[in-house]
Amino acid sequence: MKIAIMGAMLEEVDPFLESSEHEPLLRFFKKHSDTEYGSNLYHEAKYKDLDIVLSYSKIGKVNAALTAATMIEHFECDMLLFTGVAGAVSPDLKIGDLVAATQLCQHDLDITAFGHPHGYVPEGKVYVEPSRELLHIAKAVADEKNITLKKGIIATGDQFIADPERKEWIAKTFDADAIEMEGASVAVVCDAFDVPFFVLRAISDAADMDAAFDFDEFLKHSAKVSSSFIMAMLEKIISKQVQ
Ligand code: ADE
């Protein structure tokens, strides 16, 4: 099985890498090769019996869609795990909390002028759902390791939200729990290619007036929280394969 692991920013995948000045070395994985493709770097590696392709897309929906499609079509990944950080919309989510997406939507997709609901385009759907099996695996990992894993709706858009009014609007319109800038575009690509996927985020900020400051402060820590959980999921996936 070949598994894509992706984030949007270097900081989000860096916990998997031991960056040296000249070349990133894989910390957990046995390195196979690094390939530049479509202006991005893809690390191919082995972790126990799993083939891994690791990359960060750069920020935003278009970059993330390009990377997800490349992981699937060019590198032939069978499954995609997304790791990274998000802004909290739900007051129940605090900095450092882990949230697994149960549904993903695009809060900035708007053809309401034609009578369609927010986040909808013809032949599409407002909410895309990740793999149930991967959500079960995540729950099993959280239970075994006594980690609090929250689940919720993640809203994606090409905007860093640092505005309580916009945040409220997204909460109300999409019933969203967290916001970020890539998840739903990855979801659309994986759904289109019928590739099971999972989107995990650790909260870095509350999408409020302090969001930019908090993001800078907590990006690295929250990215590590998310990537550590993804590592534990890989172990679980391996143990399930062996059974
Ligand atoms: N990712 C992390 N925090 C975010 C925010 N406030 N808005 C959009 N994406 C984010």
Global confidence as pTM: 0.95
Report the C-alpha gap between 107 and 168 in whole angstroms.
12
For residue 209, count other CB atoms closer than 10 A to its CB: 11
Report the C-alpha gap between 98 and 226 in whole angstroms.
7
Catalytic residues: 12, 205
Q: Whose CA is nearest to atom 3 of ligand 1?
A: 87
Find the 90 Cα to ligand 1 centroid distance in Å.
13
Record the tokens describing residue 18, joined without a space.
Answer: 């031991």
Per-residue pLDDT of the chain (243 residues; tens, 9 = 90+): 999 999 999 999 998 886 544 445 556 677 778 999 999 999 999 888 899 999 999 999 999 999 999 999 999 999 999 999 999 999 999 999 999 999 999 999 999 999 999 999 999 999 999 999 999 999 999 999 999 999 999 999 999 999 999 999 999 999 999 999 999 999 999 999 999 999 999 999 999 999 999 999 999 999 999 999 999 999 999 998 755
Supply the DSSP string of 2-61, one letter for each residue: EEEEEESSHHHHGGGEEE-SS-EEESSSEEEEEEEETTEEEEEEEETTEEEEEEE--SSH
Q: Where are the domains of the chain?
A: 2-242
Determine the Cα angle at 82 with ends 138 and 86, to 5°: 95
For the CA atoms of 197, 72, 222, 157, what is the dihedral angle to 10 degrees? -80
Report the C-alpha gap between 73 and 61 in whole angstroms.
18
Q: What's the pLDDT at 20? A: 47
First-last CA distance in the chain: 15
**Do residues 102 and 152 lie in contact, with contact meaning Cβ atoms separated by under 8 Å?**
yes
Beta strands at 197-205 and 98-106: parallel, antiparallel or unpaired: antiparallel
H/E run at residue 128:
none
Find the 243 Cα to ligand 1 centroid distance in Å.
39
Report the C-alpha gap between 136 and 49 in whole angstroms.
21
224 burial (CB, 10 Å; 0-12 / 13-18 / 19+) is middle
Q: Whose CA is nearest to atom 10 of ligand 1?
A: 180
Report the C-alpha gap between 114 and 121 in whole angstroms.
10
Find the 87 Cα to ligand 1 centroid distance in Å.
4
Which amino acid would we find at residue 68? A
Q: Whose CA is nearest to atom 2 of ligand 1?
A: 86
Cβ 215 under 6 angstroms from ligand 1? yes
- CATH class label, 2-242: alpha beta
